[in-house]
Amino acid sequence: VNQATKNALPSDRILETIRSQLHVEISVQTDDGDEMVLELWTLELDDSQFDISLKAMNTVYFRMGILLKSLITITRITPAYHLSRK
């Protein structure tokens, strides 16, 4: 997950990327090919808590990796995930 985070967040554009919203969608696709969104989560960085002068890219990558792992874990315990597996 950490390597995927580094690949998805190029170091020259990381500040603009993490200021954007992150959307997590849990959807289900039927045998007919129809798709339905079961859950949609939106995460956003609070700019008032962000210090642009910090040069801590390794920490950002590490914490984004933790965030993605946590999202995977949390989404697997939601009712929508269990419904989508049936």
- In Å, what is the CA distance from 48 to each residue of 45, 56, 69, 73, 81? 9, 17, 25, 28, 33
* Other beta carbons less than 10 A from residue 60's beta carbon: 19
Per residue of the chain (86 residues), give pLDDT as tens: 567 666 766 666 666 666 667 777 777 887 888 888 888 888 776 767 666 666 666 677 777 788 888 888 887 887 777 777 76
pTM equals: 0.45
CB-based contact 20:43 (threshold 8 Å): no
Helices (H), the chain: 2-8, 14-19, 57-75, 79-85
Q: Report residue 36: phi and psi, to 5°.
A: -135, 130
C-alpha to C-alpha distance for 83 and 41, rounded to whole angstroms: 17
The pLDDT value recorded for residue 81 is 76
